[in-house]
Structure 1
Amino acid sequence: MPSRITDASVEAMLTREKALFLQRNPKSRALSEETAQNWLRGVPMHWMVDWGTPFPLFIAKAKGVDLTDADGNPYVDFCLGDTGAMFGHSPKALAATLREASEDGFTTMLPSPDAAVVGRLLAERFGLPYWQVTATASDANRSVLRWCRAITGRKKILVFNGCYHGAVDETFVGLDNGKQRPDPALIGEPRDLNELTKVVEFNDIPALEAALAPGDVACVLAEPVMTNIGMVLPDEGYHDALRRITRATQTLLVIDETHCMSSGPGGYSRANGLDPDAIVLGKPIAGGVPAAVYGFSDKAAARIRDYLSGRAPGHSGIGTTLAGSKLQLALMRTMLETYFTEEAFAPLIGLARRLEKGIADVIIKYGAPWHVVRVGARVEFMCSPDRPRNGGEAGRVIHRPIDMAVHHYLLNRGVVITPFHNMMLICPATTEAHVEALIQGLDHCLAELV
C-alpha cells in the first residue's frame, strides 16, 4: 500500500463515489435492470461490466471527445473506446465516408477500387509491402500465427508475461512464481496451452535467448510497448536484441501495434526503426468500425507464396466472409489519408506531453508514490513509484482499489479514463481545456485520498 494513501481513505472514497453514481444515473440503472432480462451479465459484451460501477453507464451519444449518458450527464472521454476511437468519436471525414459508402453496398466478397489505394497507404505508412484484412485485431493475430506456423513448420509461439493480444487462446499463458501456466480466467479452452506457447518476461534478454535456442518457436508475438498491464517500456537496446535473437534462431517477429498506433502515423515500429516480419493493426484503423489488417515483409510473403504453391486448394482456416469488405476499405482509406499523417499526429503528441507533465506535477505536489509514462499520444499513470520493467512487476504493483476509487471519482465529475488501467488518449477533438479538466480532477482526487 502506498505510504500516504490508506486503505481507509480509499474505501471511504469508493463508498462515497458509488453512492453518488447511484444518485446521478437513475435511467442507466433502469436500463441495466431491463437489459439483464435478455443479455448475459446484462450487457451486449460481458466486459462492459468491468468498469466496477454499481451498474453499467449507458451512453446515448458520442461525438469527438464528448459523451452523453442516458441521464443526460456529459463527459470528456479520454478512454476513446480503449483506442478504437483514437481519433475521436465519429470524426467528420469518417462520418462523411460512412454516409457515402452506405449507398454503394457493404460487402461483396470481391475487392473494391479502394483496395489498391489502401494497400499502397499501408505500405507507405507502416513499411511492410503485403497486407490482408480481418474484422478484428484478434482475428489478425490468429491469422498471423497460422501463417507463421505454416511457413516455419514449427508449432510453438512465444509471448511475454502479462501480454494481451485479444481473444487469441494461446496467448493466455503467464508466469506464476516463475512457473508457466495457462491463465485460469480463460473459459472453455480444451488444450494444454503450455504445449503451444512459451512465455518469458519482457526486457529479459537471457530468458528470451534460452526460450528460442531450441529452434521450435514459429514466431514471437509482441507489443513494442506492453500496454495492457500498465505501460511497460522496453529497455534501451531491447528491441535490437529481440530482432537479433529472432533472426539468429530463424524465428519470425510479429509486432502487434493495435495500441501503439498512437505513437505516430506509422505506429511505434516506424517511429523507432523496428524491422518486424509482420505487423498487426486493429481498433482505430477504420475509426472504430470493425476492421483490422496484418502485413508481411517481402521475405515472409515470399515464404507464404512458396508454401501455397505446393498446397492443394481447399479451406485454409484463415479469413471470414465479412473481412475485406467494401465498407472496411472505404473507411480505412479515409483514416489513412486524413488521420494517419504527420500533420494530424503532431498536435496530439504535443498535448499528450502537456497531460504527462500535468499529471507528474500533481504526483509531485502530493508526494504520491506514483509515476506517469507516455508513448506518443497515449499517457498512463500507475500507483507505484518505480516503472515496472516487465509484466510480472507490473502485475504486482497494480492497486485495484485505488484505481477504482480514482476512476469513480473522475467519472462522477465528467471525466472518463480507461477502466482496466489508467490509460488516457489524446485525439484531434481534445483541447487544452479538456486536459486541464482531467489534471484538476486528479488533483482534487489525490487531495482527498491523501
Structure 2
Amino acid sequence: MIADAAIARVAAREADRFRAANPRAFAHRAAATGWFQSVPFHWMRDWPSPVPIVAASAKGAMLTSIDGQTYDDFCLGDTASLFGHSPPALATALARQAGEGLSYMLPTERGAALSARLAAMFGLPQWQVTTTASEANRAVIRWCRGISERRKVLTFNGAYHGAVDDAFVDLKAGTPTMRASLIGQVHDLRDTTAVIEFNDEAALATALRAGDVACVLAEPVMTNVGMVRDAPGFLQTLRALCDETGTLLVLDETHTISSGYGGHGVTHGPRPDLMVVGKSIGGGVPCAVYGFSTEVAARMAALNASRPAGHSGIGTTLSANALAITAMDTMLGEVITPAAYDHMLRGAARLVTGLETEIANAGLDWHVTQVGARVEFLTCPAPPRNGGEAKAAMHPELEAAIHLFLANRGILLAPFHNMMLVSPVTGDDQIDRLVGGFADCIKALKE
C-alpha cells in the first residue's frame, strides 16, 4: 500500500525536477498564446507534467524534446507510431509521394495493391478508407443501421471509440447515463445506444434478444479504461449471440492490433462482420480503414441502390488521399510484418516479467496486464472484469506520480493509465531501463 502523503511528496519533488530540466517547454507555453490553452489540440494538456514536453524529433523508439531531453518512448503517439517513429521505408515513400501530389480525389494503382494487403492481413475481403478511426466508427455505425433497419448500437461501459457520440453512454449503479464530459450534447443518446458491462453474458443475451440492436461496437479487449481482458469464452458467446439475433459484430481494433499480426480477431478470434483499424497502419499519417464481409458488402450495395442520389453522411474530401494510401501500403508491405510482431511480443514478454518481478519484490498487490505488444500495470490487487471495476480501481494521483518520475528519467509512457507499447525497434536496453526506473519509483514511493 502506498500512502497518499508519499504520493504527494514524490509528485511535488518530481514537478520541481521537471521545471528545472525543461525551461524551453515553459517558454513554449508562454509563447503559444494563439492556441486555446496553449496547445493545438486539447489532449496535449493531459500529461501529468507541469507543462507538456515539447517534441523536437523522434526516430525509432526514441524521442527528443526541445530541451534536449531524450526519452525511451513507450507511448509511441498513443499507438499512432506503434511500429516505430518514421520507419525508413515510410519516410522514403512519403517523400516520393509528396513530389507526385498529395490528394487527387481519384483512385491510384497503389490503392489496388493496398486493398489486397488489407484483405490478406485482416481476413475481410472489402475495405473503405477514412481519415481517422473516429470517422470509420461513425461510418460503420451508419452502415449497420442502414442495412439492418435497426436503430440501436450496443457498447460496453467505459468504452471509447474516438469522437463518436453513440459510444458516450456509461453505466452508473446499473443505470445508463450519458457521459457528463461530452461537450454540447443536446440529444439523449440512450434512445439509440444500449450499454452493458463487458464480460456480462446474461446482460448481453438480454440486450441482443430484444431484436432492435443493429450492431455491437466493441474492442475485443477493452483498452481505454485501463485494460480489461475478455473472460474465457466471452468473445465466442458474443459472436454466437450476434449470429443468433442477426446483430452485426463490429470490432474496433485500433488498439488491439497490438495482439498479433492481423489483430486480435485473426490471432485469437472471433472474426467480426466489420472491423475498424486506425492510427498505426499509416505510421502516424492520419488515416484509418474499415473492412467487412462479402455478405455485408452485398447488403451495403443493395442499400446504395435503393436510396436517392446525394450525400450519404459518410466520408470526407481527404478520405483515401494519395499520401494516406501510400503510407498504409508501405506500412503493410514493408513495416507491419510477422517478423516485426515476433520482436514486439518477445519484448513485451520481457517487460511483463520485469515489472511483475519488481512488484513482487516490493510486496505490492498490483498486477500487470498484457495485450500482445501493449502492456499496462494497474495499481489494484485484481484484474478488473469490466469497465465499472476498472474505473473504480484507478488511482489517478499515483499513476501521475509514477509517470512523471519516469519521464524525469528519460522514460515516456502514455499519459493514460500508464500504458506502454513495445515496437519492432524497441531495444532490450530500453525495456530494462524502464523496469529499473519503475523499481526506483516504487522505492521512492515507499520511503
Superposition TM-score, scaled by structure 2 size = 0.99
| AA aligned opposite 1:235 | A
| AA aligned opposite 1:422 | N
| AA aligned opposite 1:345 | Y
Aligned residue in 2 for 1:274: 270
Aligned partners of 1:33 and 1:55: how far apart in 2? 10
Aligned residue in 1 for 2:29: 32
Superposition TM-score, scaled by structure 1 size = 0.98
Deviation at 1:341, TM superposition (A): 1.8
The one of 109, 115, 132 aligned to 2:111: 115
Aligned residue in 1 for 2:261: 265
| AA aligned opposite 1:247 | D
Gaps of 5+ in 2: none
Aligned residue in 2 for 1:85: 81
Aligned partners of 1:385 and 1:232: how far apart in 2? 14
Aligned residue in 2 for 1:384: 380
Superposition pairs for residues 256-335 of structure 1, below 5 Å?
256-335=252-331
Superposition pairs for residues 333-352 of structure 1, below 5 Å?
333-352=329-348
- Give the 3-state SS of the residue equivalent to 1:280 in structure 2: strand
Aligned residue in 2 for 1:102: 98
Aligned residue in 2 for 1:240: 236
Aligned partners of 1:241 and 1:377: how far apart in 2? 26
| AA aligned opposite 1:50 | D
Deviation at 1:339, TM superposition (A): 2.2
Gaps of 5+ in 1: none
Task: Please list every run of at least 4 consecutive aligned residues from structure 1 whose deviation after the TM superposition is greater than 3 angstroms.
Answer: none
Superposition pairs for residues 168-187 of structure 1, below 5 Å?
168-187=164-183
The one of 400, 416, 420 aligned to 1:420: 416
Deviation at 1:325, TM superposition (A): 0.9
Deviation at 1:448, TM superposition (A): 1.1
Aligned residue in 1 for 2:196: 200
Aligned residue in 1 for 2:135: 139
Of all paired residues, the percent bearing the same amino acid is 49
The one of 391, 398, 423 aligned to 2:394: 398
Deviation at 1:428, TM superposition (A): 1.9
Aligned partners of 1:428 and 1:171: how far apart in 2? 32
Q: How many residues align?
A: 446
Aligned partners of 2:334 and 2:234: how far apart in 1? 33
8 Å contact from structure 1 (residues 232, 391) kept in 2: yes
8 Å contact from structure 1 (residues 264, 340) kept in 2: no
Aligned partners of 1:42 and 1:156: how far apart in 2? 39
The one of 31, 46, 54 aligned to 1:50: 46
| AA aligned opposite 1:350 | R
Q: What does the per-residue CA deviation read over 1:98-122, in whole Å, with 9 as the maximum and x for residues that have no partner?
A: 1111111001111010111110010
- Give the 3-state SS of the residue equivalent to 1:75 in structure 2: strand
Deviation at 1:273, TM superposition (A): 2.5
Aligned partners of 1:101 and 1:263: how far apart in 2? 31
The answer as to 2:69 corresponding to 1:73 is yes
| AA aligned opposite 2:30 | E
- Give the 3-state SS of the residue equivalent to 2:370 in structure 1: strand
8 Å contact from structure 2 (residues 214, 248) kept in 1: yes
The answer as to 2:10 corresponding to 1:20 is no
